[in-house]
Each structure stands twice: as C-alpha cells, then as structure tokens.
Amino acid sequence: MTARRKLLINILLFLGCVAIASLAVLYNYGYKICWRCDTQEYYERGRVFVCKEDSELRESGLDFLRVAASRQQVRAQLLLAECYAPQLPQGYVPLDERAFACLSTALSPNPAASHDFFRKAHATLALQKDLQPQLMHNLGLLLEEGVLKQSTETPTAEEYFVAASQQDYFPAQLHLGMIYHQRSEYAQAMHWFEKAAQRYKDPQPALLLGDYHMQGKGVVANYEKAMHWYRQALLTVQKISVGLNRAEQIAAEDVPRARMDMTLRKLQQERIFKFKTLYYRVGGDASMYEVYCCGDDLTRRIGTVTRNIEGVEASLDPEVKRALSVTTAQKTFASMNEGLNWLLTAYAKGQYGNFTKFDFRLKNSRTQN
C-alpha cells in the first residue's frame, strides 16, 4: 500500500469519526435547536419539554414557548400568562392543564408579565370566531376580574359567558345563572340553571331552582316543583359523592335533604288546608258524557266518559296535562259517576298538583244532543 493511499484512508477514517461525533452531539443536544420549526412546532415542543425530568429539556421547553409567544402564538401566550399569574380567577381552567402544572411551579409570579401575555392573547382572540367554550369562559372571567380591560372592540364578559353557555359549557351556564340570580333577574337565571342542573355536575343550580319555586321567585310558588328540583339536587350529590366514605356522603346530602323535609311539611300543610272549587259542565247523552271545565264559559273539553260493552271508560283528551300520579289517560269504571269523578280529579291534579283538595260543582245541567 502506497503512502498516498494510506493517507487517504486515514483522512476518510478521521472524517468518519468526526461525522459520528457530530451525530452524537446532535442526538444529545439537538433538542436545544428546532431545525426549520414553525411557530406551532415551537409551541408543541415547548409544552412537552417543560414536563420532562431533564432540567436542560425543561429549560429548552420554556425557551421554545417564549419564541412561540413572541411570534403571536396565542396558546403559548396564554400558558405563560397563566403560569406567571399570582392567582387565576375562581373557575378559570387552563387550556393545557398538564403543561400548566409543570411550568407554574418553575416560574415565579410576575403580574406584569402575566398581564402583558393575557392582553396580547386577547387582542388576537377577540377578532376570532368559533372559539372553544372553555376559552370564552376563561376570557369572561379575566374581564370580570379586571385582569383584562374592556374595550368597545371586544366582547363583554357577559357576552363571552352567553356564547360559552350556548355551546353547553357547564361552568359558563352555572356562572351566567349566578350573574342573573344576583341581579334578581330570575327568569333568565332559571333558564341557565335548568340547563346546568341537567348535567348533574353540581347541586347548586337544582337547589336554587327549588328555592325559586318554594319562595315564588320569578314564578308562582309551587311546592311540588320545588320538591322535584330538590330531589334532583340530592341525586346530583349522590352521583358526585361516589367514592367518599359514608360519613362524607351523609354530610354532602344534608342540604338537599333538609330542603326536601321542609318542602314536604309545606305540601302536607297545603294538602290539609288547600281547597279549590272547580266548576264543570257535561254534554252528550246518558251513554256518553263530554266533560268541559274551568273558566267563566266552561268551553275547554277535558275528556269523555263513555258506556260500552265492558263497562264505563273515562278518557282524558290528549291536550290535557297529566300529573305524574296519573299513570294513564284512560280508565274503566263500573258507573258513569265514578268515571266522571276520576276524569275531573285527573284533570285537576295535572293543573293544580296532587296535594290540593277539590270541590267539583256542576254549573249547568247536562244538555241533550
């Protein structure tokens, strides 16, 4: 082998070693460099790296988030704002809870930086449509708390809450209901409380709805409806307290059960003392009554009582509202009078509740067709 050939081989071996060493360095430290990364990639790498065990990776993750934020990446701005905030508004939920948990412990509170990042993010988001309901709710809370400043070019806090509520976001529905409740705008509060109560995540909306019906706030007082909502509040408590020990479950159920006991006493008093006179009239013949009830002219037909081969059948008209205790719209009896009494009672329970006593009076004699 000639000296020239040996030299060439040595040069190639040297270059190979340099290449291998370079690759090793890039493998170990490449995370510090984001080759050809766009803004979104900086954010995605940053949110992952800040949760790594390696301190250098976490530091690089923070650097990547700062780069993304400087390039107007909204989620990076929000994450940094949340982590720098001394305290977030009650009910505020970070969009990336895992990255927030990792990074917030590493950053010292910095109110000025937090406010600046929130302001920049909001300036961009206020111009966008179809925001996530959680994000809209967060922005509403920031405006409500004064962290963000209201302007004529941005939605109000209430507008954010309404938009999030319309997308069935439970925290916004509950919060919006409380806003109207505190203003004594009970009709609007009831609308959002009813939607929130159907989610069975918090007993408060159902409890407040029960209070409205118990106390006649925005509605006519109705103890049966109050009992319905208190039962739903109890069911909600039972759903969300699964996993607690028995003593904790009993304590959690104390409030709705106390409300139910109070309502039951009211219902019992109402049953004893409440007495309502209802006038009715009948038309038809001896084998078929058409029954009309209520109002000065007694023109509303509530059903029929008909004699057939099996006996006497009483039937409520389909438009008549039935109480839960009236399980069927038709029933068979031995006599026309029994059928008539059931028909009138079933109608009255649907209109006035199960705990009212009724005095049915025939206002006009039965006419012949």
Instruction: Note the pLDDT tens digit of each residue in 170-208.
Output: 999 999 999 999 999 999 999 999 999 999 999 999 999
- Least reliable range by pLDDT among 25-34, 58-67, 256-265, 326-335: 25-34
Q: What's the pLDDT at 323?
A: 83
Choose the weakest-confidence range: 85-99, 225-239, 340-354: 340-354
Strand partners, 253: none
From CA 143, how far away is CA 63, in angstroms rounded? 29
* pTM exceeds 0.75 for this model: no
Domain stop point among 257, 273, 289:
273
pLDDT the model gives residue 248: 93
Same domain, 264 and 321: no
Are 301 and 317 in a shared domain? yes
Same domain as 341, residue 298: yes
pLDDT digits (tens, 9 = 90+) for 313-364: 999 999 998 887 888 999 999 999 999 999 999 998 888 877 677 888 888 6
Q: pLDDT by residue (tens digit) across 6-47? A: 666 666 666 665 555 444 444 444 445 565 688 999 999 999
Q: Does 269 reside within a domain? A: yes
> Does a structural domain hold residue 136?
no
Domain that holds residue 281: 275-362
Q: How many domains does the chain have?
A: 2
Compute the chain's Rg from CA coordinates: 35
Across residues 86-91, what is the average pLDDT? 96
Region 297-304: mean pLDDT is: 90
Show which of 273, 300, 319 is a domain's final residue: 273
Question: What whole-number distance in Å separates Cα of residue 316 and Cα of residue 342?
Answer: 10
pLDDT at position 35: 59
The upper half-sphere exposure of residue 133, i.e. CA atoms within 13 Å in the direction of its Cβ, equals 13
- Residue 223: inside a domain, yes or no? yes
User: Residue 289's closest CA among 271, 276, 304?
Assistant: 304
List the single range of 20-29, 68-77, 79-88, 336-345 with lowest mean pLDDT: 20-29
Give the Cα separation of 233 and 235 in Å (integer).
5
Beta strands in 147-230 (DSSP E): none
Higher pLDDT, 121 or 2: 121
Nearest to 196 by CA among 176, 216, 219: 176
The Cα–Cα gap between 194 and 229 comes to: 9
Residue 140 pLDDT > 50 = yes
Across the chain, what does the average pLDDT equal? 88
The residues, any chain, with a CB within 8 Å of residue 341's CB and separated by 6 or more, are: 360
Terminal Cα-to-Cα distance of the chain (whole angstroms): 131
Q: Are 252 and 319 in a shared domain?
A: no
Claim to verify: residue 280 and residue 358 sit in the same structural domain: yes
3-class state of residue 348 by DSSP: helix
- Whether the CB-CB separation of 79 and 103 falls below 8 Å is answered with yes
Is residue 324 assigned to a domain? yes
Q: Give the β-pairing of 288-293 and 275-285.
A: antiparallel
